[in-house]
Amino acid sequence: MLVCGSERMHCMKTLTKELWMDVPQRRAIVSIHKEVERLVEESKVSDGLVLVNAMHITASVFINDNESGLHHDYDLWLERLAPFNADPSVYHHNRSGEDNADAHLKRQVMGREVVVAITYGKLHLGPWEHIFYYEFDGKRRKRVLVKIIGE
Amino acid sequence: MLVCGSERMHCMKTLTKELWMDVPQRRAIVSIHKEVERLVEESKVSDGLVLVNAMHITASVFINDNESGLHHDYDLWLERLAPFNADPSVYHHNRSGEDNADAHLKRQVMGREVVVAITYGKLHLGPWEHIFYYEFDGKRRKRVLVKIIGE
Amino acid sequence: MLVCGSERMHCMKTLTKELWMDVPQRRAIVSIHKEVERLVEESKVSDGLVLVNAMHITASVFINDNESGLHHDYDLWLERLAPFNADPSVYHHNRSGEDNADAHLKRQVMGREVVVAITYGKLHLGPWEHIFYYEFDGKRRKRVLVKIIGE
């Protein structure tokens, strides 16, 4: 029989938090790094994983450089890969009265979520890794989920 | 000494299940949402994570809208980004006798896996999040893995 | 009260390891499969998850075929989707003195991380799944993080 808390065997802790976003532009990149950092601290998990995901399907959570030139490049690049077009004959999704089909495509390139390790009670990241929310269809309230699991 | 099951400290439970897929078309989007939901319930995990991944490298698991117009748009868009071409001088992968190089590319855009939080015993998702399997080279049996870990 | 190690309730174990990479080319795909396999064995985790992520933002970890023709196809395809261009008027990121904006874009297509299930003490993978590191801006030392969590 093993008992949690003894030597190398430990028990699970979790923390769950929804972060509300309200981006005034249609598209924008918003840092959520500090907030995730703070929640990891609050969780008291020293060793585990944190999942950070967009709860909406026209937005992404991703990790990359905190550099405005690059963010500009992402925006132009995604617009080239998956251009905005409200015309329902171009994107069938827009037959439903929406105009955001492009946002659903862009989000797949940048991803829905990141999973980050927690070690010694902190986000275990490389020197330039920074956690961002990417809004592709803003001007309304949306949520990001932070789920921490570990010991 | 901490004992599992006391107050805020809990023990781990897991559930592992392979779902068999057999898509009659070459490419198709198939909902696996209900099945994942059912497995989360069966696991009795109230707080944790579920990993859902394609076990094959010409297929994706992704989360987006359960809307047929959008699924049509994904298909056309992916065909534009990574067109089918059986010619082995276009895709070297097809020198191996395969004709599915495009499927390996498309799958990278849509992703291999999703990780979803479980809270209060249920998938913790936003209002429109729906879990899908995306087949890019069908007409044969393939598998999706569901792995649940939590307390 | 539940005690870890009894019947269906178990305690958590973790293992954390950084793998150093030093890729002599600018771009290359490197297998890290054996190393991850070895760490799963070392962790003695029989049921859980392993996170494998690039700690750098111009590199990817991904799962696909161990086939050199396909790797050639990925390279040409990514160069077409996000071409190298050192010109700072093309990519604003390169105004910072860098020439690697394209590497930051390519990495988003291929992804930062994979999460893989561990079952019966082994990576739970489909027949052709193979774990790779993809370097998009090499010729210097970088790291991959392996984080194992389970019971």
Q: Give pLDDT tens digits for A72-110.
A: 999 999 999 999 999 999 999 999 999 999 999 999 999
A97 touches chain C (CB under 8 A): no
Does the pTM exceed 0.90?
Answer: yes
Is residue B76 within 8 A of residue A93, CB to CB? The reply is no
Give the distance from residue A75's alpha carbon to the nearest chain C alpha carbon, in angstroms. 11
Of B2, B9, B125, the CB nearest to A55: B125
**How many whole angstroms from its chain centre is CA C40?**
15
d(CA C124, CA B18): 10
Q: Tell me whether B8 touches chain C (CB under 8 Å).
A: no
pLDDT at res. C4: 58
Q: Please tell me if residue C134 touches chain B, with a CB cutoff of 8 Å.
A: no
Q: Which pLDDT value is given to residue B12?
A: 86
Distance between alpha carbon B95 and the CA centroid of its chain, in Å? 28
The first and second tokens of residue B10, run together, are: 């809990």
How far is it, in rounded angstroms, from Cα B2 to Cα A11?
8
User: Residue written as tokens 């070459």?
Assistant: B26
How confident is the model over C33-53, as a mean pLDDT? Answer: 98
* Residue of B65, B109, B114 with shortest CB distance to A104: B65
B1 and chain A in contact, CB less than 8 A:
yes
B100 closest CA partner among B60, B127, B136: B136
CA distances from A142 to A56, B57, B118 (A): 7, 32, 19
> C8 pLDDT band (50/70/90 cuts)?
very low
DSSP codes joined into one string, A117-143: EEETTEE---TT-EEEEEESS-SSEEE
Rg (CA), chain A: 18
CB–CB of C12 and A10 under 8 A? yes
B touches which chains (3+ CB pairs under 8 A)?
Answer: A, C
Question: Is residue A6 over pLDDT 80?
Answer: no
Residue B12: which of C12, C109, C110 has the nearest Cβ? Answer: C12
Strands (E), chain C: 13-22, 28-31, 47-54, 59-64, 113-119, 122-123, 130-135, 141-150
Distance CA(A115)–CA(A146), nearest Å, equals: 10
| A55 vs B8, B111, B129: nearest CB | B129
Query: What is residue B10's predicted lDDT score, i.e. its pLDDT?
Result: 59
Each residue's pLDDT tens digit, B95-118:
999 999 999 999 999 999 999 999
Question: Strand, helix or coil at C61?
Answer: strand
Write out chain C residues lying below 8 Å of A47, CB-based. Answer: 14, 16, 149
